[in-house]
């Protein structure tokens, strides 16, 4: 058994996992990348377009290549970065984008046709015989990983919270900021995306306040805890805007169980560090090419040597210090290629270089890597002087470690509306415009050295605490010594011929090369945003962390302009990929919408109702005992109402209680006709207009007392009508003596309809109700008690039959309902309700659609009353009286039997393409034995005219006759009996 | 994640809403500060839930009598059945509500508030050991399902 590796994140315990069917042993704390590297596995996938063999390049979320699938279909989780995936015992991992296997991948033959797959290829190639011929095959080959068929991930949790100071990033600057703020009494939340705090202190040979970096970090963490700070690891600031930021916690570096934290800090410190940059050279995507910092992290955290014989390639002083640490870790440093002609600048770097040279390392100033060599993994680096690239030599190695500098992570600052500037010293963009609530510190602000990072962190923490009104003595900046200033000299790519540029990768995840950038510019896409979209630069899961700034700099070189002139593409949240599962949270399945239910909901379910969502409300469409589908059951239920009687749950009806001395005057202004003329104990059918004169809603208004009214509104319009009333209450009626209260849920409504309705009610409600019931005329109501609770009985009908609405307290609704059922009145649902109201020509949302005037709906009589209400003035617009305006009519099939459906167009003949109207709603009428409908047709079409129903999508074409919209009981004798 | 929290669904109550349309003085006996709550013992009796709107849960005869004196300055609305009361008690009560709103911040300077909890229009009051939530009765099943999910019941 091999010796246990030692690392800051490892324990000695082991676990087993499988990778492409092979079983491996790892240590607890290993990521998939560290364990595979320790086992000598370098190839971890193939690229998306060219199917080139790829290995891990980084140690963090900027990883472009090593994306794995966890688990098996259909519950597989694709595209998990191996660099962040913390292993657990028994985990099953697969590589992606290869068939049938990683080693023998037939799709790698695509490399032979790489000339046809350049940037924007789908606009230029594969167009003969036509794109569709190729599209299916290309789509099957494209993409990263396979989408899962289901998700077994646990539901993520959500937290809403706030704090004085949110510090994003727990490297040296972030720790210093959090400490300074907490010492000043601020409530601090410190979020770190890694499983442990410290950032580069994990592997830098640093001293802070005389202690080792590790000791200082531990002490800082302890003090923060004592001061009440909340430290969150594995937690990334994924996005936000002024006032609210979103933190995302993933366990083990893979999706779920996740937690989203919506946090409102008074001040934000962005200490998110910087991401190391690649340098583009030929075949820089081979397994065995790594970022320099990644190699240090694998050694420090996991005790993994990424190679045995290394070539280092960089443009700054820190490469020498890193080389020394890697050599101390047992690796041989074959060569250090420093693109700077002058080589090491600082004393520390010169000293390290001298020691390395003494031990056999070739420190080559003014040199660059021209190409990586090796088929399945790096076996050599071809190097040459920058000034004389023809003088090449090959250096045997099994790993090339690259560092082209660092790009500060400025996402949070820019997403929050900040801007950026180009720092010439770092050759990188940093955020500017520190607002009064946000400040950037540390390497995220371009302060690469430890001392500078700590100083900026302390200042940021104090400023943030002050913003939250927490002030204390100025905090001391801890004395520190670490890696020297980098003395960086910009170097973005090794020049080469255009053929070699085809394998100089800028964004490996999307196979974007220097050649792609060159051709894109040549085709006229010169703005960086166009370059991004044309080439897919920065599209991938790393979201431009790996190649964004590198790509922009190369574009600048190719355009012959300075980097600031090109800029970078816009950075958008989330900072790292967040699963849809996390964002959806608990809003899945039954939790998707806050369904509303009536007091009779459980009864409906128990009695086999087929429930339907009507907005948020769940209502019975029909009862399965009456038929297996809505049409059949609706016909039976509606027919029963006409012949005997039935009950329907109308509790969803919107109800607004309007009270006060000015209530009547207010309602006069809200409705087309006056409410003030309604007598106590009476109700009236009323219509609301919008300000522009269009019909807004209709309902019944009951006058409960001189100063108290109950306004009923359509189920789907309740919230809108409440807002509508409240708007006028707060503005034009601000000083009125009136109140508005939504009492929709305070009253259950049971509609009792049909010829036997009165008799049944009389027998059920008891003696105290007999007289009231007997004297109730149409639109009268009576109030009283039933079972000790309030009850209102309103004689009104939406069905055309004798009918009563029982408005009762929810507590007694079920008892009343069951008594009615027991008395022989069967329930009916929405389907039957629609048939009944359609037979009588009553309006619902199909007709009250926001595009109709009262004239269109035949409400001229109400308009003629002349009540000066909201919307009344604009009714006088000439356009409202134009001859082609629609009017509401009824329709019957000319042959007395054909079906026609709502939404169909109406024309005057079978061939005309110009409609004269459309069908709003239809139903089969059991009372009339045929299909009937309502429609809007041009006023020029007379009653009795024959029109053609044109329904090309559903095929129900027929001819219909224009009739009165009141199909049934036109004189309302049954309703008013 | 689940929270240690006892959820108790309360039964029907004869609640009242009082809505003022004229200015009220402190002498009216209503809790006047925004979000203020009057209590008898540990039981909330009057909650100032919104501008010019008070809520009297399970209004006692005394409360009814007191409000009846104010009918020249506002309206007393019987809302029996409109609100479903749910009591949350236990160390996890704050966590449960924090899943939908920053309840600590909302109630930092008040004892009650009109809020939206898991998309349900609700009123919430802080009480000893937890909270009382009144949600629109038609939303009761949805809110109860959310509470059950978060408490593992």
Judged by a CB distance cut-off of 8 A, whether residue A455 touches chain B is no
Taking the CA of residue A795 and the nearest CA in chain B, the distance in Å comes to 22
Nearest residue of A to residue B19 by CA position?
Answer: A739
Q: Determine whether the interchain pair A741/B95 forms a contact, defined as Cβ–Cβ distance below 8 Å.
A: no
Q: Least CB-CB distance to B138: which of A262, A597, A659?
A: A597
Using the Cα atoms of residue A692, residue A693, residue A699 and residue A704 in order, give the sign of their dihedral. Answer: positive
Mean pLDDT, consecutive 10-residue segments, chain B of 153 residues?
A: 93 96 88 96 94 96 94 96 97 95 95 96 96 97 92 88
Match 């079409």 to its residue by tokens.
A941
Q: Determine whether the interchain pair A599/B100 forms a contact, defined as Cβ–Cβ distance below 8 Å.
A: no
Contacts of A660 in chain B (CB under 8 A): 21, 74-75
Judged by a CB distance cut-off of 8 A, whether residue A480 touches chain B is no
Q: Determine whether the interchain pair B1/A157 forms a contact, defined as Cβ–Cβ distance below 8 Å.
A: yes
Structure tokens at A562: 């300075």
Judged by a CB distance cut-off of 8 A, whether residue A885 touches chain B is no
Taking the CA of residue B119 and the nearest CA in chain A, the distance in Å comes to 6
Q: What is the pLDDT of residue A55?
A: 96
Lowest-confidence segment of A23-27, A106-110, A737-741, A831-835 by average pLDDT: A106-110
Structure tokens at A609: 């109702």
Measured CB to CB, residues of chain B less than 8 Å from chain A are 1, 12, 17, 19-22, 74-75, 77-83, 95, 98-105, 118-120, 136-143, 145-146, 149
Q: Say if residue A242's pLDDT is above 80.
A: no
Between CA A951 and CA A936 the distance in angstroms is 16
CB B55 within 8 A of CB B132: no
Between CA A950 and CA A901 the distance in angstroms is 10
Bridge partner list, A646: A753, A826
Could you report how far apart the first and last alpha carbons of chain A are, in Å? 96
Q: Say if residue A902's pLDDT is above 50.
A: yes
Q: Determine whether the interchain pair A746/B102 forms a contact, defined as Cβ–Cβ distance below 8 Å.
A: no
Q: Say if residue A10's pLDDT is above 80.
A: yes
Q: Determine whether the interchain pair B75/A708 forms a contact, defined as Cβ–Cβ distance below 8 Å.
A: yes
Q: What is the pLDDT of residue B6?
A: 97
Between CA A113 and CA A364 the distance in angstroms is 38
Residues 6+ apart with CB under 8 A from A734: none
Nearest residue of B to residue A810 by CA position?
Answer: B81
Lowest-confidence segment of A319-323, A581-585, A833-837, A874-878 by average pLDDT: A581-585
Q: Least CB-CB distance to B145: which of A262, A590, A657?
A: A590
* Burial annotation A324-350 (CB, 10 A radius, 16+ → b, else e): bbbbebebbbbbbbbbbeebbbbebbe
Q: Least CB-CB distance to A746: which of B79, B99, B100?
A: B79
Q: What is the pLDDT of residue A256?
A: 58
Lowest-confidence segment of A252-266, A316-330, A794-808, B85-99 by average pLDDT: A252-266
Contacts of B19 in chain A (CB under 8 A): 659, 739-741
Taking the CA of residue A584 and the nearest CA in chain B, the distance in Å comes to 13
Element housing A700 (H / E): strand A695-705
Judged by a CB distance cut-off of 8 A, whether residue A729 touches chain B is no
Q: Least CB-CB distance to B77: which of A595, A659, A744?
A: A659
Alpha carbon of B113 to those of A366, B11, B47, B54, B109: distances in Å? 69, 22, 9, 11, 10
Q: What is the pLDDT of residue A419?
A: 83
Burial class (CB in 10 A: 0-12, 13-18, 19+), A249: buried
Question: What interface predicted TM-score (ipTM) does this complex get?
Answer: 0.97
Lowest-confidence segment of A94-103, A122-131, A630-639, A708-717 by average pLDDT: A122-131
Residues A588-631 pLDDT 10s: 777 788 899 999 999 999 999 999 998 899 999 999 999 999 99
Q: Determine whether the interchain pair B1/A660 forms a contact, defined as Cβ–Cβ distance below 8 Å.
A: no
Burial class (CB in 10 A: 0-12, 13-18, 19+), A387: exposed
Taking the CA of residue B90 and the nearest CA in chain A, the distance in Å comes to 18
Residues A750-805 pLDDT 10s: 999 999 999 999 999 988 899 888 899 999 999 999 999 999 999 999 898 999 99
Q: Determine whether the interchain pair A596/B75 forms a contact, defined as Cβ–Cβ distance below 8 Å.
A: no
Cα A339 off chain centre by = 44
Q: Determine whether the interchain pair A596/B142 forms a contact, defined as Cβ–Cβ distance below 8 Å.
A: yes
Residues A528-577 pLDDT 10s: 999 999 999 998 888 888 999 999 999 999 999 999 999 988 888 888 88
Edge-first strand listing for the sheet containing B112-117: B6-9, B83-89, B130-136, B120-127, B112-117
Residues A365-417 pLDDT 10s: 999 999 999 989 999 999 999 999 999 999 999 999 999 999 999 888 888 77
Size of the A and B interface in Cβ pairs below 8 Å = 112
Between CA A492 and CA A315 the distance in angstroms is 9
Q: Which domains does chain B have, with CATH numbers?
A: 6-12+82-151 (3.30.1360.120), 16-78 (no CATH)
Contacts of B10 in chain A (CB under 8 A): none
CB A298 within 8 A of CB A493: no
Judged by a CB distance cut-off of 8 A, whether residue A162 touches chain B is yes
Judged by a CB distance cut-off of 8 A, whether residue A881 touches chain B is no
Residues A85-124 pLDDT 10s: 999 999 999 999 888 888 888 888 888 888 788 888 877 8
Q: Least CB-CB distance to B101: which of A160, A586, A744?
A: A160
Match 């044309």 to its residue by tokens.
A534
CB A80 within 8 A of CB A70: yes
Q: Which domains does chain A have, with CATH numbers?
A: 1-149 (3.10.20.440), 157-275+408-481 (3.50.50.60), 279-403 (3.50.50.60), 495-585 (1.10.10), 601-651+747-837 (3.30.1360.120), 654-746 (3.30.70.1400), 882-977 (2.40.30.110)
Between CA A606 and CA A818 the distance in angstroms is 12
Contacts of A736 in chain B (CB under 8 A): 21
Between CA B104 and CA B106 the distance in angstroms is 6
Please report which confidence band the pLDDT of residue A175 belongs to, taking 50, 70 and 90 as the band edges. Answer: very high
Q: Determine whether the interchain pair B77/A741 forms a contact, defined as Cβ–Cβ distance below 8 Å.
A: yes
Taking the CA of residue A808 and the nearest CA in chain B, the distance in Å comes to 10
DSSP letter (8 states) at residue A5: P
Q: Determine whether the interchain pair B17/A599 forms a contact, defined as Cβ–Cβ distance below 8 Å.
A: no
- Among residues A961, A967, A831, A964, the alpha carbon closest in space to that of A896 is found at A961
Q: Determine whether the interchain pair A745/B102 forms a contact, defined as Cβ–Cβ distance below 8 Å.
A: no
Contacts of A596 in chain B (CB under 8 A): 136, 138-139, 142
Q: Determine whether the interchain pair A789/B80 forms a contact, defined as Cβ–Cβ distance below 8 Å.
A: yes
Q: What is the pLDDT of residue A1?
A: 47
Please report which confidence band the pLDDT of residue A251 belongs to, taking 50, 70 and 90 as the band edges. Answer: low
Q: Determine whether the interchain pair B79/A597 forms a contact, defined as Cβ–Cβ distance below 8 Å.
A: no
Q: What is the pLDDT of residue B65?
A: 95
Q: What is the pLDDT of residue A264?
A: 92
Q: Determine whether the interchain pair A657/B77 forms a contact, defined as Cβ–Cβ distance below 8 Å.
A: yes
Burial class (CB in 10 A: 0-12, 13-18, 19+), A132: exposed
Q: What is the pLDDT of residue A868?
A: 95
Contacts of B22 in chain A (CB under 8 A): 737
Q: What is the pLDDT of residue A255?
A: 61
Judged by a CB distance cut-off of 8 A, whether residue A597 touches chain B is yes
Mutation to test the A interface, candidates B11, B23, B74, B82, most A Cβ within 10 Å? B82
Contacts of B74 in chain A (CB under 8 A): 660, 739
DSSP letter (8 states) at residue A360: T
Q: Say if residue A434's pLDDT is above 80.
A: no
Q: Least CB-CB distance to A745: which of B78, B137, B143?
A: B137
Torsion angle of the four alpha carbons A555, A558, A563, A566, in this order, in degrees rounded to the nearest 10: -50
Q: Say if residue A912's pLDDT is above 70.
A: yes
Between CA A727 and CA A732 the distance in angstroms is 8
């Amino acid at each position: 058994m091999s010796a246990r590796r030692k690392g800051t994140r490892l324990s000695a315990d082991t676990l087993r996992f499988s990778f492409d069917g092979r079983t491996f042993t790892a240590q607890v704390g290993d990521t998939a990348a560290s364990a595979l590297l320790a086992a000598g596995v370098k190839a971890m996938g193939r690229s998306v377009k060219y199917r080139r063999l790829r290995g891990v390049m980084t140690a963090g979320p900027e990883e472009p290549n090593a994306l794995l699938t966890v688990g098996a279909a259909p519950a597989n989780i694709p595209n998990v970065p191996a660099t962040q995936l913390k292993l657990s015992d028994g985990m099953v991992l697969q590589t992606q984008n290869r068939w049938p296997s990683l080693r023998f991948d037939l799709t790698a033959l695509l490399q032979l046709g790489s000339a046809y797959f350049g940037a924007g290829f789908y606009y230029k190639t594969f167009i003969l015989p036509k794109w569709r011929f190729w599209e299916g095959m290309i789509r099957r080959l494209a993409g990263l990983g396979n989408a899962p068929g289901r998700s077994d991930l646990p539901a993520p949790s959500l937290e809403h919270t706030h704090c004085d100071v949110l510090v994003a990033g727990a490297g040296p600057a972030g720790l210093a900021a959090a400490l300074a703020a907490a010492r000043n009494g601020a409530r601090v939340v410190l979020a770190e995306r890694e499983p442990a705090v410290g950032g580069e202190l994990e592997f830098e040979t640093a001293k802070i306040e005389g202690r080792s970096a590790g000791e200082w970090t531990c002490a800082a963490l302890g003090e923060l805890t004592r001061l009440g700070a909340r430290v969150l690891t594995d937690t990334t600031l994924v996005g936000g805007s002024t006032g609210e930021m979103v933190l995302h916690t993933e366990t083990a570096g893979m999706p779920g169980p996740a937690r989203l934290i919506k946090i409102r800090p008074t001040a934000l410190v962005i200490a998110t560090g910087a991401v190391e940059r690649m340098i583009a050279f030929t075949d820089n995507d081979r397994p065995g090419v790594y970022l320099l910092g990644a190699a240090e992290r694998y050694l420090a955290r996991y005790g993994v040597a990424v190679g045995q014989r290394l070539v280092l390639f960089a443009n700054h002083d820190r490469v020498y210090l890193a080389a020394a640490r890697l050599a101390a870790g047992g690796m041989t440093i074959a060569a250090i290629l420093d693109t700077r002609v002058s080589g090491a600048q600082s004393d520390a770097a010169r000293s390290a270089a001298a020691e390395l040279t003494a031990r056999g390392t070739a420190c080559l100033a003014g040199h660059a890597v021209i190409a990586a060599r090796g088929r399945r993994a790096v076996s050599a680096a071809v190097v040459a002087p920058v000034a004389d690239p023809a003088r090449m030599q090959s250096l045997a190695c099994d790993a090339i470690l690259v560092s082209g500098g660092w790009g500060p992570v400025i996402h949070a600052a820019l997403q929050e509306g900040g801007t950026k500037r180009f720092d010439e010293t770092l050759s990188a963009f940093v955020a500017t415009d520190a607002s009064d609530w946000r400040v950037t510190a540390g390497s995220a602000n371009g302060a690469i050295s430890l001392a500078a990072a700590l100083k900026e962190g302390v200042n940021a923490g104090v400023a943030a605490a002050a913003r939250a009104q927490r002030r204390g003595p100025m905090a001391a900046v801890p004395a520190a010594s670490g890696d020297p200033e980098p003395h960086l000299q910009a170097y973005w790519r090794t020049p080469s011929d255009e053929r070699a540029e085809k394998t100089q990768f800028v964004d490996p995840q999307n196979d974007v090369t220097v050649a792609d950038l060159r051709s894109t510019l040549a085709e006229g896409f010169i703005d960086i945003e166009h370059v991004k979209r044309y080439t897919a630069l920065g599209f991938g899961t790393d979201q431009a962390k790996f190649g964004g700034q590198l790509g922009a700099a190369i574009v600048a070189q190719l355009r012959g302009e300075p980097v600031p002139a090109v800029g970078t593409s816009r950075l958008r949240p989330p900072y790292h990929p967040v699963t849809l599962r996390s964002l959806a949270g608990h809003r899945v399945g039954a939790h998707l919408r806050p369904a509303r239910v009536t007091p009779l909901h459980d009864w409906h379910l128990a009695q086999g109702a087929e429930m339907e969502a009507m907005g948020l409300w769940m209502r019975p469409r029909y009862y399965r005992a009456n038929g297996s589908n809505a049409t059949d059951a609706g016909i039976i239920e509606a027919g029963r109402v006409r012949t005997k009687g039935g009950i329907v749950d109308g509790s969803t009806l919107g109800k607004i209680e309007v009270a006060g001395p000015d209530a009547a005057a207010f309602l006069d202004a809200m409705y087309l006709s006056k409410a003030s003329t309604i007598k106590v104990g009476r109700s009236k059918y009323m219509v609301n207009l919008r300000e522009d004169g269009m019909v807004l809603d209709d309902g019944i208004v009951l006058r409960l007392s001189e100063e108290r009214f109950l306004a009923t509104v359509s189920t789907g319009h309740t919230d809108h009508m409440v807002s509508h009333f409240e708007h006028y209450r707060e503005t034009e009626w601000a000083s009125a003596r009136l109140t508005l209260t939504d009492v929709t849920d305070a009253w259950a409504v049971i509609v009792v309809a049909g010829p036997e309705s009165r008799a049944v009610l009389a027998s059920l409600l008891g003696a105290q109700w007999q007289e009231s019931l007997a004297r109730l005329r149409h639109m009268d109501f009576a109030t009283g008690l039933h079972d000790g609770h309030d009850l209102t009985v309103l004689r009104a009908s939406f069905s055309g039959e004798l009918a009563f609405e029982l408005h009762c307290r929810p507590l007694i609704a079920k008892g009343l309902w069951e008594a009615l059922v027991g008395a022989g009145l069967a329930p009916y649902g929405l389907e039957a309700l629609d048939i009944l109201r359609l037979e009588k020509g009553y309006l619902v949302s199909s007709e009250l659609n926001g595009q109709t005037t009262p004239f269109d709906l035949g409400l001229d009589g109400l308009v003629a009353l002349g009540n000066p209400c909201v919307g009344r003035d604009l009714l006088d617009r000439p356009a409202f009286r134009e001859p082609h305006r629609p009017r509401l009519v009824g329709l019957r099939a000319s042959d007395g039997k054909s079906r026609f459906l709502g939404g169909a167009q109406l024309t005057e003949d079978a061939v005309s393409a110009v409609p004269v109207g459309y069908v709003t709603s239809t139903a089969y009428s059991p009372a009339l034995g045929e299909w009937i409908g309502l429609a809007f047709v041009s006023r020029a079409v007379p009653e009795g005219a024959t029109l053609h129903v044109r329904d090309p999508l559903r095929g129900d074409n027929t001819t219909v006759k224009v009739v009165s919209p009141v199909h049934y009981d036109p004189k309302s004798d049954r309703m008013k009996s | 994640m689940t929270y240690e929290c006892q959820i108790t669904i309360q039964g029907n109550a004869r609640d009242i809403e009082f809505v003022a349309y004229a200015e009220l003085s402190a002498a009216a006996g209503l809790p006047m500060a925004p979000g203020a709550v009057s209590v008898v013992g540990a039981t909330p009796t009057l909650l100032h839930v919104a501008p010019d709107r008070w809520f009297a849960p399970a209004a006692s005869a005394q409360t009814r009598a007191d409000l009846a004196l104010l009918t020249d300055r506002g309206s007393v609305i019987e809302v029996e059945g409109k609100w479903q009361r749910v009591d949350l008690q236990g160390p996890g009560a704050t966590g449960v509500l924090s899943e939908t709103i920053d309840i600590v911040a909302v109630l930092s300077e008040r004892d009650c508030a009109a809020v939206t909890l898991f998309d349900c229009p609700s009123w919430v009051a802080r009480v000893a050991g937890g909270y009382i939530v009144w949600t629109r009765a038609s939303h009761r099943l949805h809110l109860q399902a959310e509470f059950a999910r978060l408490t593992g019941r």
